[in-house]
Structure 1
Amino acid sequence: MYDLIDRPVSVLSPGDRFLIDAIRLWVAARSACQCPSALLAARFAQSGALDALGDFDGWMTQLSTHARVPIQINCKCGLVTDDESVLLTLARDLVTGRDAKARTTLSLLVAEEAIAPTFCALARTAAMLGQVGLPPGTNVRT
């Protein structure tokens, strides 16, 4: 997680950049009282990841609705913020089989009843992004 904080988004792997952009757009749409899925559909479709959009929206909705503390997403910053690094690390953990670590992190982020649905939505999102060549990953250019 700490290797991501304050890194330029531009040096992240394509999967991480896609996920950060999607998270930021989702938050911006919700803040503007717009439908995030409608705003993101074209971007997901262009990347061949349209099948991941429903689960991505579910993941973000669970975070938004059941967060133990507010999750801060800086939609205009060119750097990865603390909370964004946590979300990227969650996705990376699931891609690399560290499910227990991801569940523990989620238990700190969301209410107890939201852990399982949030975990499942994120796991499906990460898996589908991996299938289209956009896995959240550890390749960061220096």
Structure 2
Amino acid sequence: MYRFLDRPVASLAPGEQILLWSMRGWVTAMATRQCPARALGPFFERWRLADILPDFNMAMALLNCEGQERLHFCGQQCPQANDDEARLLAMFHAAAADDYRVLRPLVDLTLKPQAVPPFLAAIGQAADMLRRTPVPRAS
């Protein structure tokens, strides 16, 4: 988690930047009463990541409805990742590496017990697809 905390967004790897932007976009869509999947769909399509959207959306919905506490996200223009954003980036990173030694304690602290299995499935699928999809660095 600490590897992402207070890091400038521009210093994150392309996939990490996409995840951070997507988390913030999902929260913004919910706050403005838009369907997050519909709001983020064109972005995911543009980056050839449309297959990730259902699992990403499920993970975010579980965090929203079944979280142990309310998570806080910055706006899109915020230049760095905050605590909760860093925690989620660490979860995605651990899921992509199949590192359940790191992932499981973070998930257990973040979600209610009944939400853990579907969250692990969703984040695992999304992280695996992101890991296998080449994402070019923005220019």
TM bracket, shorter-chain basis: over 0.9
How far apart, in 2, do the equivalents of 1:8 and 1:63 lie? 24
Question: Partners of 1:32 and 1:102 in 2: how far apart?
Answer: 31
In 2, Cα distance between equivalents of 1:132 and 1:23: 18
Counterpart residue type for residue 45 of structure 1: E
Residue of structure 2 equivalent to 1:111: 112
2:129 matched residue in structure 1: 128
Q: Deviations for 1:36-76, whole angstroms, at most 9, x for unmatched residues? A: 00011011011111011000000000000001111111124
User: What SS is found at the alignment partner of 2:6?
Assistant: coil
Pairing of 1:71-110 with structure 2 (within 5 A): 71-75=71-75, 76-110=77-111
Cα distance in structure 1, aligned partners of 2:79 and 2:34: 23
Equivalences, count: 134
1:28 positional shift: 0.3
What letter matches 2:127 in structure 1? A
Structure 1: which amino acid aligns with 2:132? Q
Q: How much has 1:125 moved relative to structure 2?
A: 0.5
What code does the residue aligned with 2:96 have? V
Q: Measure how far apart 1:25 and its partner are.
A: 0.3
Aligned-residue RMSD, C-alpha: 1.0
Identical-residue share of aligned pairs (%):
29
- Unpaired runs of at least 5, structure 2: none
The equivalent of 1:63 in structure 2 is 63
- Give the counterpart letter for 1:70 in structure 2: R
TM-score, normalising length: structure 1: 0.91
Q: Does 1:28 align with 2:28?
A: yes
Report runs of 4+ in structure 1 exceeding 6 Å deviation. none
Gaps of 5+ in 1: 135-142
Q: Contact between 1:47 and 1:132, CA under 8 Å: does it hold in 2?
A: no
Q: Which residue of 2 aligns with 1:19?
A: 19
Query: In the alignment, what sits opposite 1:140?
Result: none
Partner Cα separation in structure 2 for residue 110 and residue 29 of structure 1? 21
Q: Using the TM superposition, give the Cα deviation of residue 130 of structure 1 relative to its aligned residue in structure 2, in angstroms.
A: 1.4
* CA shift for structure 1 position 2: 1.1
Provide the C-alpha distance between the structure 1 equivalents of 2:72 and 2:86, rounded to a whole number of angstroms: 11
